[in-house]
Every structure is written in C-alpha cells, then in structure tokens.
C-alpha cells in the first residue's frame, strides 16, 4: 500500500476534515527510516508528532533515573503512536522513550500541524484521545503482569504470545531482549529459561528460544 492510502486508512478522522486539510496532512507527513535499536524519541527532548508504523516495530517504555526500563507496549505496522505527540495531547504528564525494535519505516505527521488540526477539529482531538485510552489499557495490562504475576507465569505468557504473534515455535530473541519486553533483568530471564529447558519445555540456542512443549507452558499460567 502506498503512503497516501496508508495514511487515509489509519487517520480515521479523514472524512471529518476539509479537502485542504487532507492535502496539508500529506504535505506535513515525512517518511522516516530507523535502523533496529535506534532511540527515536524521549518526551523531554522533543515533541515529534504522530507516528504511523508502516513497517517494523516500535517499543514504548519508561526509564528510571537509575536506568531501569519498563516496556509499556509495542507498536506494529498500521498502528499509530500518539505519545510521541504528548505535547499536543492535554493531560499527559509522564515521560516515555521510544525505540525502533526492528528496522522501521515510519510516517511522521509533524506536531505543529497536528496541533493545529487538534485544536480546530474535535474529531481529530477525539481520534488522539481514543488512541491514548487504548494505550492506557495496554499499559494497565503490562503493569498488572509486572505487579501481580509471578515471573514464571510472565515469561511463559510472553513466550506463548510471541509464538502466536509470529505463528512460529521459534522465538528469535536474545535473553537481553526478552528481559526488556517482560521488564526484568537478563540474569532472571536466563535462569528461568534454563529451568524451562531442564523441564523440557524449551530448547535454548544462540539468539533463539525453541518451544518444545507448549501444553506444559500453558499449564504454568
């Protein structure tokens, strides 16, 4: 799909704005390329605008003063990142970081123009609010995993979800990466994976985790 169609399909307020604004949107959209691992955004540094994931994957996370990292959610193609425009959104007072988890193509609708649209068109404001509230729910889910679930359950759930998401029993992630996604330490992940592998639930090899016994993994939940 070309960028124009992609934008039309994603910005659900498209029919609620004037033809002039539609053209202005296209004029104010930039196609950005980020290599895997790039730090794209931090609230305190800049106000970027609305990001539409065209390809690849983004990770939105919290970072503590002492460098601890909590994954809030990930964004895949077709999803829109609103927190990269938190300067525009009213009532958002927390800081997030955004990284490219994969080589990613992003469409950026710049903050200034989005601010204009947001201020003059309640449907645009509503679009942003609804997306933000959806993220709120995702964040609450992630928080409940971290605060309420024992770690073996968290890791089991993560492995099953990844396998389902990619429709594969091989998960191509390092222990380091998994630790980030489940908001834990690499050592903790490695120890639990070692335990899973001793139990014959998974097989570990360089940069991948192979699920051998999903039934057993589901029993852990």
Answer for which of 110, 132, 177, 197 binds a copy of itself (CB under 8 A) is: 132
Shortest CB 182 distance to a copy of itself, Å? 12
Q: Which of 32, 87, 89, 157 touches a copy of itself by CB under 8 A?
A: 89
Give min distance, CB of 135 to a copy of itself, in A. 8
Nearer to a copy of itself, 108 or 142 (CB): 142
Whose Cβ is closer to a copy of itself: residue 1's or residue 143's? 143
Taking the C-alpha atoms of residue 24 and residue 28, their distance in angstroms, rounded to an integer, is 6
Q: Does 151 bind a copy of itself (CB under 8 A)?
A: yes
Q: How far is CA 203 from CA 11, 30, 46, 70, in A?
A: 43, 43, 43, 27
Closer to a copy of itself by CB, 9 or 137: give it: 137
Q: Which of 209, 154, 213, 219 is nearest to 185 (CA)?
A: 154
In the complex, least distance from residue 66 CB atom to a copy of itself, rounded to whole angstroms:
5
Angle at 162 between CA 156 and CA 163, to 5 degrees: 90
Secondary-structure breakdown of the chain: helix, strand, coil percentages, each rounded to the nearest 5: 45, 25, 30
Nearest to 89 by CA among 48, 129, 131, 61: 129
Options 1-9, 73-81, 90-98, 164-172: segment touching a copy of itself (CB under 8 A): 90-98
Closer to a copy of itself by CB, 94 or 195: give it. Answer: 94
Tokens of 209: 């985790």
Q: How far apart are the first and last CA of the chain?
A: 39
Under 8 Å between Cβ of 142 and 130: no
Taking contact as CB under 8 A, which single stretch among the options 26-34, 135-143, 156-164, 170-178 is the one that binds a copy of itself? Answer: 135-143
Which among 1-9, 25-33, 41-49, 60-68 is the span making contact with a copy of itself, rule CB under 8 A?
60-68
Q: How far is the CB of 89 from a copy of itself (least distance, A)?
A: 7
- Phi and psi at residue 82, to the nearest 5°: -95, -30
Residues in contact with a copy of itself by the rule CB under 8 A? 62, 64-66, 68, 70, 89-94, 122-123, 125-126, 129-130, 132-137, 139-141, 143-144, 146-148, 150-151, 183
């Amino acid at each position: 799909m070309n960028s124009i169609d992609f934008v039309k399909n994603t910005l659900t307020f498209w029919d609620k704005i004037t033809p002039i604004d539609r053209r202005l949107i296209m004029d104010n959209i930039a196609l950005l390329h980020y290599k895997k691992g790039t730090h794209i955004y931090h609230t305190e540094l800049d106000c970027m605008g609305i990001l539409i994931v065209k390809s690849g994957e983004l990770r939105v996370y919290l970072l503590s003063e002492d460098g601890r990292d909590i994954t809030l959610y990930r964004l895949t193609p077709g999803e829109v990142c609103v927190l990269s425009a938190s300067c525009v959104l009213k009532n958002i007072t927390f800081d997030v970081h955004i990284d490219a988890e994969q080589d990613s193509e992003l469409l950026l609708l710049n903050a200034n123009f989005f601010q204009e649209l947001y201020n003059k068109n309640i449907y645009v404001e509503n679009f942003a609010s609804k997306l933000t509230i959806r993220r709120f729910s995702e964040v609450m889910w992630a928080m409940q995993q971290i605060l309420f679930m024992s770690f073996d359950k968290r890791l089991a759930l993560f492995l099953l979800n990844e396998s389902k998401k990619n429709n594969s029993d091989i998960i191509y992630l390092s222990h380091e990466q998994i630790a980030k996604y489940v908001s834990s330490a690499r050592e903790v992940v490695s120890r639990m994976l070692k335990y899973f592998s001793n139990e014959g639930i998974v097989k570990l090899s360089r940069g991948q985790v192979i699920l051998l016994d999903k039934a057993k993994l589901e029993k852990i939940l």
